[in-house]
Amino acid sequence: MDTSPLASSPPLDFKTRTIEVDDKRIKLQIWDTAGQERFRTITNAYYRGAMGILLVYDVTDETSFNNIRNWIRNIEQHASDNVNKILVGNKADMDESKRAVPTSRGQALADEYGIKFFETSARTNLNVEEVFFSVAKDIKQRLTDTDSRVEPATIRMNQTDKASGSGQQNSACCGT
45 in a domain, yes or no? yes
Contact 32, 159 (CB under 8 A): yes
167 in a domain, yes or no? no
Question: What pLDDT, on the 0 to 100 scale, is given for residue 176?
Answer: 42
Cβ burial, residue 42 (10 Å; 0-12/13-18/19+): middle
> Model's pTM, two decimal places?
0.75
Give the residue numbers spanning the domain of 140. Answer: 5-161
Question: What pLDDT, on the 0 to 100 scale, is given for residue 166?
Answer: 40
174 in a domain, yes or no? no
111 in a domain, yes or no? yes
135 in a domain, yes or no? yes
Question: What pLDDT, on the 0 to 100 scale, is given for residue 14?
Answer: 78
What number of other Cβ atoms are within 10 A of residue 99's Cβ?
16
Running along the chain, 176 residues long, what does each successive block of 10 average in pLDDT? 42 81 86 68 75 94 94 90 95 97 98 98 96 93 71 58 43 46
76 in a domain, yes or no? yes
